[in-house]
Amino acid sequence: MTSHPDFNKETNGTDAAKAFATQIRGKTILITGASPNGLGQATAHAIAGNAPGLIIISGRSQAKLDETAAGLRKSFPSVPVRILIVDLGSFKSIRTAAAEVNAYPEDIDVLINNAGVMAIAERQLTEDGLEMQFGTNHIGHFLFTNLILGKLEATAAKSSTPGSTRIINLSSFGHQLGPVRFSDPNFEGKKELPSEEVANWDLIKSFYKIEKTNGYEAWASYGQAKTANVLFALSLRDHLYKRGILSFAVHPGGINTDLSRNMSSELYDGLMNIMDPNSFKTHDQGVSTTIVAAFDPKLDEKSGPYFDDCQVGQPNPWATNAKSAEKLWTLSEEIVGQKFPL
């Protein structure tokens, strides 16, 4: 149960942030993926109206982050804004950015893992050889989060309010499209998958005409990445709550952002054909669930791990399986080549 059961899909992020102004005031919040016309930018604006101590916005493009920062400074001149360059598809870039964060004199109170890519039409690889959606949406955030986790733990240890230090992962209803393919997370398609790793082909086929395959398919890949976001939050919540850190995953809803930039016209048109045009949220509405998950003081280790329309949601069971969460953690450690014991 949240503090505001009246909040719903129409709730604006700015209104939700005002409701949690006390929890925001003076805090340092780091948001990944804060480019213009995105949810990261809208999240920063919602938070900035409530006197945070510092907002750190991160992304790959200096120019885009400069634009977001300029907008924040114009609207909220008293709020400090800092830019962090990081490419979540590059282990080298992630390690460089994490070292920079760890050197900050300020605490980090809330980490919002907002960055992501969606439904890339053709299989692409990160510079480290990972399938792009899984590599960027999950593995990149897994490595970055763990590399700065000590800083978050230090913040939590000093806090008089256990659970106010938080890690929020942006997932999606799209997690329903498929589980994590532990046998073939890179979508090489060289072998048959166990039944529990097969994508939700009935749902995928409702988008467009496609034959079932063991190889790459844009929506199956997106489903794997978004499922991983929930499982990652589950692992963090269950292992860190005793140290004063909570973690949740959120489905922001359908919002017209630049997230669709990598989709083919076939994929985009198929998605639009099954979505109710009236169901789309504004950017401000699209960040309200993130705000609730990040700041609602009523949430605890039994809450979530998945939120939808500002309330606790009902994810697919493959996204809340504790054994799958442990298995994903181990797989992620193997991929990044570093152990992160909790």
**DSSP H helical ranges for 77-217:** 91-102, 132-134, 141-147, 149-158, 201-205
Token reading at 28: 């340092």
3-state secondary structure (DSSP) of residue 167: strand
Distance, in Å, from the CA atom of 280 to the CA atom of 58, rounded to the nearest integer, reads: 26
Burial of 265 (0-12, 13-18, 19+ CB in 10 A): exposed
What tokens were used for 148? 């700065």
The DSSP result for 45-94, as a single string, is HHHHTT--SEEEEEES-HHHHHHHHHHHHHH-TTS-EEEEE--TT-HHHH
Residues for the chain: how many in total?
A: 342
Point out the catalytic residue in the list 35, 58, 90, 171.
Answer: 171
- Helix H segments across the chain? 13-19, 21-24, 39-48, 62-75, 91-102, 132-134, 141-147, 149-158, 201-205, 218-240, 265-274, 283-286, 288-295, 322-336
Nearest to 248 by CA among 159, 187, 152, 165: 165
Residue 171 designated active-site = yes
Query: What is the rounded CA–CA span in Å between residue 292 and residue 22?
Result: 13
112 three-state secondary structure: strand
Residues 106, 115: Cα–Cα separation, whole Å: 22
24: nearest Cα among 7, 45, 47: 47
**Catalytic residue positions, numbered:** 171
